[in-house]
Structure 1
Amino acid sequence: MSTLTERSRQQKLYLWRRANGVEVYTDPAPVRAHIETLMGWGMTLEMIRQGADCSGQAVRFIVDGTFPRVKAELAQRLLQVDHRPGPSQWFALAVGARRRVEALNTMGWQSQYLAERLGIYDRVKLQSMIKQPRIRYTTWLAINELYEELSASIGPGNNTMVRARNRGLASPLAWYDIDIDHPAAIPSRTAQRSHCKDGHALSPDNILVSSTGHQQCRECHRIRNRASRRRAMPGDVAEGSRGSQGARTPDLVV
């Protein structure tokens, strides 16, 4: 059994690392920038501390510049913390939970049904929870599991589906292969469809929402309507009506 004190052990470890070229300390600037990015997304210092499994004081000292250098091992753990929720954290960013609930709404799953499945039993409370910047990790996990179960099927609420799509909410298909929890993520339908298939810009004033909740190009819809009206009016009838209106009545011979 070793009789080395903790101080002696740390000293010997430091000398071994230095002799073998193992980096012990590093510049805290990249770590500070990473922490500030996480905080800009809504993460707290406590969430970051829990994700890196370190002390809150160490994180605070890095942020306020008290540490002129930081241990390389601690820096690596902090740089590995990102927006994705982890079981070691009490809270998680709520943006992914909100997007999942909204995506299920576009599939016809009512918020009241989702609230009951989550054990909340109140759709107003569910909506209030997911609109907050942060949510409990256990709640985020439950919403994620429910999303995985229901996102590929159609729910019974047709009115819910229409209202959600009229609001322009993204469906589960729009989030396919995209990190739905990333605060800066954009659903594919928004990122890819800037113009319709005929080249008209899909600006807000050129988007028409149908009764089923689908978005259409307003200009294309106008062109189709004009073409449909022209087809419904035969040419000979139109010419005949114009001829009858333009013809003069012959003078009567007495």
Structure 2
Amino acid sequence: MPIRAHIEQLRAAGASMRAIADKAGVSISQVSKIAGGQAHVRRPYAVRIQAVTPAAVLARSGADDFVPAVGARRRVEALQAVGHSSTAIAMAMADGATAAAVRKIRSHPGEWISRTNHERVVRAYNQLWDKPGTSHQTLAAARRSGFAAPLAWNDESIDDSRAQPSIDDDAHDLVDEVAVMRAVAGDRVELTATERAEAVGRLAAAGLCNNEIGARIRVSGRTVQRIRKAAGIPSGWKEPAA
């Protein structure tokens, strides 16, 4: 049953039964029954549940909500991968956050984290992702631990527990020309960070704006902006003549 498979996909992405039910506007028992194999599902329930996405679960209102912890954990690791210490991250989180709290989020063993802490980490990440940190000790420790840097993630994948970081191997300067050409053409294809930057550069040179480039290579416009800034790719977009 498609609706049961959709619930399984949401669960695999880190959504709880309660979160799915809250976002769909149905009871937890209804979601549980469907997930458990209920044969017949009323169409209104099916439509509401199928409309729920992992991003929608994160966007639920309420500071006391809990959301999947994977996104906050990955963001802390990514910032440390570019040299930001726990203290620096805590300062960017503000609201009285401490270095100990940052370390706790990074090593958090559970699947859930409070929305408040998640949003604090997102705030810090948005401030620091494109700025090199100053802690050589943190950078060395992050490398030993294999933490993925910010450019290994995009806005669509960092909160998805099923996603893997896009990390180049030692031959990071090598580019799969066919993969880049397919991405530029709009095909769905896996790219390394170097290949993604190459595709962005070509599309920017062709005059596409960030959102248009994002639609072509299947990331958000903000992710494109981050890639361009990190790689020093100028914009070739020109506002259409009136």
Which interval holds the TM-score relative to the shorter structure? 0.5 to 0.7
The aligned residue for residue 111 of structure 1 is: 86
Cα RMSD, aligned residues only: 2.6
Residues 56-107 of structure 1: CA deviation (Å, up to 9, x unaligned): 12112212234x3223232122112222212237121111111110010012
The aligned residue for residue 239 of structure 2 is: none
Please tell me the residue identity of whatever aligns with 1:126: I
The aligned residue for residue 23 of structure 2 is: 51
What does 1:19-38 align with in structure 2 at a 5 Å threshold? 29-38=1-10
Please tell me the residue identity of whatever aligns with 1:31: I
Please tell me the residue identity of whatever aligns with 1:101: V
* Separation in 2, partners of 1:88, 1:52: 13
Shift of 1:197: 6.0
Q: CA 1:53 to 1:139, structure 2 compared with 1: closer, same or farther past 3 Å?
A: farther
- Residue pair 1:178, 1:185 contacting (<8 A) in 2 also: no
List alignment gaps of at least 5 residues for structure 1: 1-28, 199-254
The aligned residue for residue 141 of structure 2 is: 163
The aligned residue for residue 134 of structure 1 is: 112
* Separation in 2, partners of 1:179, 1:77: 23
- The TM-score normalised by the length of structure 1 is 0.58
Please tell me the residue identity of whatever aligns with 2:81: T
Shift of 1:176: 4.0
Q: CA 1:55 to 1:177, structure 2 compared with 1: closer, same or farther past 3 Å?
A: closer
The aligned residue for residue 104 of structure 2 is: 125
Q: How many percent identity over aligned positions?
A: 34
Q: Which residue of 67, 71, 94 maps to 1:92?
A: 67
The aligned residue for residue 81 of structure 1 is: 52
What does 1:161-240 align with in structure 2 at a 5 Å threshold? 161-176=139-154, 179-190=157-168, 193=169
- The TM-score normalised by the length of structure 2 is 0.60
- Residue pair 1:100, 1:143 contacting (<8 A) in 2 also: yes
Shift of 1:49: 0.9
Residues 165-202 of structure 1: CA deviation (Å, up to 9, x unaligned): 23221111221465211112122225xx486668xxxx
Task: Report the structure number with the largest CA radius of gyration.
Answer: 1
* Separation in 1, partners of 2:10, 2:154: 24
Please tell me the residue identity of whatever aligns with 2:79: L
Deviates more, 1:114-123 or 1:148-157: 114-123
SS of 1:135's partner is strand
Please tell me the residue identity of whatever aligns with 1:156: T
Please tell me the residue identity of whatever aligns with 1:87: R
SS of 2:117's partner is helix
* Separation in 2, partners of 1:132, 1:120: 20
Q: CA 1:161 to 1:82, structure 2 compared with 1: closer, same or farther past 3 Å?
A: same
Misfit runs of 4+, over 4 Å = 194-198
Please tell me the residue identity of whatever aligns with 1:93: P
Deviates more, 1:151-160 or 1:181-190: 181-190
SS of 2:20's partner is helix
The aligned residue for residue 144 of structure 1 is: 122
How many residues end up aligned between the 2 structures? 167
